[in-house]
Amino acid sequence: MAFFIYKMNIINNEIEEYVNSHTQKETKILKEINSDTWKKTINPRMLSGHLQGRFLSMFSQLITPNSIIEIGTFTGYSALCLAEGLPNNGKLYTIDNNEEHLKIAQHNFSKSEYKKNIFIREGEALEIIPEINENFQLAFIDADKENYCKYYEMLMQKIDVNGYIIADNVLWSGKVLDPKDNETKALDDYNKLTYADHRTENYLLPIRDGLMISKKISD
């Protein structure tokens, strides 16, 4: 299993606190998941957190997707944020290859009003994505960085025109400015691939560790 080293101090702690205190509050359940994740998991920084979570929720509510796919569940925080934009009968598929993470996520989902909308798939994302026989209007890539470009190409086959693919950590604590290790190179490759893709319009937002938002404009 790959362990990620998440640093992510692109903005300083004081600014982050100020930003969070002037941003829509987390719901009660998200606040609990955030706090439990910090107490009980080895790498809690993997969780999207307050600002990014509220951004994902707002984005999902703006586009009201019927179907969402997420690569990288962890403790379920971002899935529950994205689910806030689903209609009553909407679906969110979330994939993770770590049994322990999924146990926690399943427990968290079971306490949520979105439990009927969320479908967990356990295993390697590269194997699971082709097995899900759905089209999506929103995808969130937030797993192993080396496979981001492959995930993008697979998801482009399943995203409707006018749908979106959001990828997390694309600034990788600023290391993309001088890519040396494999993860950083993979993220830089991802940014270059999506930017050059004529099928998408791309927006790299410096939220938290960087979100690349790709809007599919043609097949």
Ligand X SMILES: C[S@@+](CC[C@H](N)C(=O)[O-])C[C@H]1O[C@@H](n2cnc3c(N)ncnc32)[C@H](O)[C@@H]1O
Contact 135, 165 (CB under 8 A): no
Contact 102, 96 (CB under 8 A): yes
156 binds ligand X (CB under 6 A): no
124 binds ligand X (CB under 6 A): yes
CB of residue 14 to ligand X, shortest distance in Å: 23
CB of residue 217 to ligand X, shortest distance in Å: 26
x-marked contacts with ligand X along 1-30 as a string, rule CB under 6 A: -x----------------------------
CB nearer ligand X, residue 101 or residue 216: 101
CB of residue 168 to ligand X, shortest distance in Å: 7
Contact 75, 37 (CB under 8 A): yes
The region of 7-15, 70-78, 190-198, 206-214 touching ligand X under the rule CB under 6 A is: 70-78
The DSSP 8-state label assigned to residue 15 in this structure reads H
For residue 188, the number of C-alpha atoms closer than 13 Å in the C-beta half-sphere is: 13
Cα separation of 78 and 47, whole Å?
Answer: 7
H/E stretch holding 30: helix 28-40
CB nearer ligand X, residue 81 or residue 156: 81
x-marked contacts with ligand X along 84-123 as a string, rule CB under 6 A: -----------xxxx--x----------------------
- Binding residue (CB under 6 A) for ligand X from 57, 67, 78, 108: 78
CA 159, distance to chain mean position in Å, is: 15
153 binds ligand X (CB under 6 A): no
CB of residue 34 to ligand X, shortest distance in Å: 9
Which of 216-219's residues contact partners 24+ apart within 8 Å by CB, and which partners?
216/156, 216/159, 216/160, 216/161, 216/162, 216/163, 216/164, 216/165, 217/161, 217/162, 218/161, 219/161
- Binding residue (CB under 6 A) for ligand X from 26, 30, 34, 48: 48
DSSP, collapsed to helix, strand or coil, labels residue 58 as: helix
CB nearer ligand X, residue 147 or residue 199: 147
DSSP, collapsed to helix, strand or coil, labels residue 146 as: helix
183 binds ligand X (CB under 6 A): no
CB nearer ligand X, residue 66 or residue 98: 98
Question: Where do contacts with ligand X occur on this chain (CB under 6 A)?
Answer: 2, 46-48, 72-74, 77-78, 95-98, 101, 124-125, 142-144
